[in-house]
């Protein structure tokens, strides 16, 4: 109706984790949102030059009891829980106005407990106002957008950009569900402490489904924690599925095994391309190995992604991009791909948080230590053929490390800086050898002078013979076959360098 003023949308921000807050708040302001905040959040926003309305200006009450009570007021919770404009009109004389978006993350109780905090410190980290606001906003998902984690910022801003400053009901429902899973874990962690439970009783976060749509699945994180607790931040794209998480772990484990900048491309946890070098260069080299398998794959880096690499990634169909960091332009470009999960990873923290392997089949649980380090490359021995030079040793070591991350039996062909053919997961090592050679030839690689790595010993000379016939000049494999001498003798006859190690890296 002409002459009726358009109400400005309001966003309430109260966050412990300030990661990504500035960009998120600026995005909200750019879509016409008024920003409400309290305490440290308000201070941070003002420090970035943003206009902020203090919570106590809305409630008419200052924070009391050292900040224990600041948002627990009808002006705040009425603004969150009010169902529609007509309902707000009915309470207009009370000064209660709608709040359309609530971005809150909780005090880090789980971290405080893990750090060995005393009772006073732990009680201080029991959040009351945060869960109350989150649950209120989640209950009212039909109108209110709730944002419980910085990982959702990019996705919310993308929806605001395509929906005239609003979000879809589908997104609001999904974020509301995330809230109730989060507060469930948070409450469990507090109850465990109060009851003196020393272990972790955790119901986990429900995933959309498991390996297949008919299978349920849950993700378990440190008590009271979120993805950040294992060093991950989701910047944009759909929520992570069970298979995404399995592939993500595999990709980061591979990238984390290298000190040199690298790009690893994986499909169904198997490497289908790997290369050393700056991100764009390594990405292009890794893609040449098996571009067909890379379709819909996981792209993991151990160095910052720049605009050049982002431009290559943006033109491809893929599931996940993960790197320690991104340039601002690279992140903007990649988060425009709505369905691609774009993550940053604090690699040292992630690798520490995911050390060890557990597999469970109902009541049968198997645990093992992490397969980490490559001390065998310090004392590997020449079993046959010419003494390898430094470049050959470096190339063999790269292939050896990549082979560790493919399903056994693993054969990896490399040209010194990148993979050119991979064969994984076959019942016979000869089959894996033939697959690696065939894939390399399909991509037009000249295998003359290339190198090969095997995650297990060669039980017969046939695998060595096939590699030599293809043009491979040097091979690394673990010792251990009763026919090691026979295999080495055949390698010598063929003029192939064979390096044997005292350690293997099976990945079943």
- Mean pLDDT across the chain, nearest whole number? 89
Whole-angstrom distance, CA of residue 412 vs CA of residue 435 = 10
| CATH entry 3.30.70.1880 includes domain 379-501 | no
The tokens describing 424, both together, are: 């994984």
160-169, 323-332, 466-475: least confident range: 160-169
Res. 443 pLDDT band, cuts 50 70 90: very high
Res. 223 pLDDT band, cuts 50 70 90: low
Contact 487, 458 (CB under 8 A): yes
Contact 212, 343 (CB under 8 A): no
Contact 265, 271 (CB under 8 A): yes
Query: In terms of Cα–Cα distance, which of 4, 22, 33 is closest to 165?
Result: 33
How do residues 374-404 score in pLDDT, each as one tens digit? 999 999 999 999 999 999 999 999 999 999 9
Which part of the chain is CATH 3.40.140.20?
237-345, 379-501
| CATH entry 3.30.1330.40 includes domain 10-194 | no
Would you state the pLDDT for residue 198?
Answer: 54
Phi, psi of 354 (to 5 degrees): -115, 20
Catalytic residues: 139, 268
Give the contacts of 440 (CB within 8 A, at least 6 positions apart). 289, 413, 420, 421, 447, 450, 470
Which part of the chain is CATH 3.40.50.1380?
10-194
Would you state the pLDDT for residue 200?
Answer: 46
Whole-angstrom distance, CA of residue 359 vs CA of residue 67 = 44
Res. 285 pLDDT band, cuts 50 70 90: very high
47-51, 79-83, 165-169: least confident range: 79-83
Residue with tokens 């429900």: 206
Query: In terms of Cα–Cα distance, which of 259, 269, 260 is closest to 297?
Result: 269
Q: Which superfamily does 237-345 belong to?
A: AICAR transformylase, duplication domain (3.40.140.20)
Would you state the pLDDT for residue 55?
Answer: 87
Residue with tokens 């069970």: 242
The verdict on pTM exceeding 0.75 is no
How do residues 269-281 score in pLDDT, each as one tens digit? 999 999 999 999 9
Whole-angstrom distance, CA of residue 148 vs CA of residue 130 = 10
Query: In terms of Cα–Cα distance, which of 433, 480, 437, 490 is closest to 459?
Result: 480
Res. 2 pLDDT band, cuts 50 70 90: very low
Res. 119 pLDDT band, cuts 50 70 90: confident
Cα dihedral 244/249/250/254 (nearest 10): 140
Whole-angstrom distance, CA of residue 91 vs CA of residue 93 = 5
Region 247-268 average pLDDT:
97
Would you state the pLDDT for residue 201?
Answer: 46
13-22, 70-79, 160-169, 234-243: least confident range: 70-79
């Amino acid at each position: 109706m002409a002459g009726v003023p358009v109400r400005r949308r309001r966003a309430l921000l109260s966050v412990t984790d300030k990661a990504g807050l500035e960009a998120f708040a600026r995005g909200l302001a750019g879509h016409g949102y008024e920003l409400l905040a309290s305490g440290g959040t308000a201070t941070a926003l003002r420090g970035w030059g943003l206009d902020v309305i203090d919570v106590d200006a809305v409630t008419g009450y200052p924070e009391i009891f050292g900040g224990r009570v600041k948002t627990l007021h009808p002006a705040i919770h009425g603004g969150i829980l009010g169902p529609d404009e007509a309902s707000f009109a009915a309470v207009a004389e009370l000064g209660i106005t709608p709040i359309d978006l609530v971005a809150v993350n909780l005090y880090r109780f789980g971290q405080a407990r893990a750090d060995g905090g005393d009772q006073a410190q732990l009680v201080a980290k029991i959040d009351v106002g945060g869960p109350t606001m989150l649950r209120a906003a989640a209950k009212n998902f039909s109108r209110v957008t709730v944002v419980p984690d910085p990982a959702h910022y990019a996705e919310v801003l993308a929806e605001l950009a395509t929906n005239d400053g609003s979000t879809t009901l589908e997104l609001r429902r999904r974020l509301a569900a995330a809230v109730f899973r989060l507060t469930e874990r948070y409450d469990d962690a507090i109850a465990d402490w109060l009851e003196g439970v020393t272990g972790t009783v955790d119901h986990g976060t429900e995933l959309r489904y498991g390996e297949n749509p008919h299978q349920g699945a849950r993700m378990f994180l440190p008590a009271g924690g979120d993805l950040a607790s294992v060093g991950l931040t989701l910047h944009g794209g759909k929520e992570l599925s069970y298979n995404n998480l399995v592939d993500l772990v595999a990709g980061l484990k591979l990238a984390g095994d290298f000190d040199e900048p690298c790009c690893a491309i994986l499909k169904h946890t198997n490497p289908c391309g790997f290369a050393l070098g700056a991100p764009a260069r390594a990405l292009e080299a890794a893609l040449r190995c098996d571009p067909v398998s890379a379709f819909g794959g996981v792209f993991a880096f151990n160095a910052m992604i720049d605009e050049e690499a982002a431009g290559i990634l943006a033109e491809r169909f893929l599931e996940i991009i993960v790197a320690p960091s991104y340039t601002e332009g690279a992140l903007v470009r990649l988060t425009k791909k709505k369905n691609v999960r774009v993550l940053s990873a604090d690699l040292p923290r992630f690798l520490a948080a995911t050390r060890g392997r557990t597999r469970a089949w109902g009541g049968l649980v198997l645990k093992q230590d992490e397969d980490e380090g490559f001390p065998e490359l310090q004392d590997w021995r020449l079993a046959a053929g010419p003494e390898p030079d430094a470049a050959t040793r470096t190339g063999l070591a790269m292939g050896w490390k990549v082979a560790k991350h493919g399903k056994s039996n693993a054969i990896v062909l490399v040209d010194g800086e990148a993979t050119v053919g991979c064969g994984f997961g076959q019942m016979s090592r000869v089959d894996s050898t033939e697959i690696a050679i065939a894939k390399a030839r399909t991509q037009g690689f000249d295998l003359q002078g290339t190198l090969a790595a095997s995650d297990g010993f060669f039980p017969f000379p046939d695998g060595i013979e096939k590699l030599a016939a293809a043009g491979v000049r040097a091979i690394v494999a673990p010792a251990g076959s009763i026919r090691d001498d026979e295999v080495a003798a055949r390698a010598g006859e063929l003029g192939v360098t064979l390096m044997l190690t005292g350690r293997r890296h099976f990945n079943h």
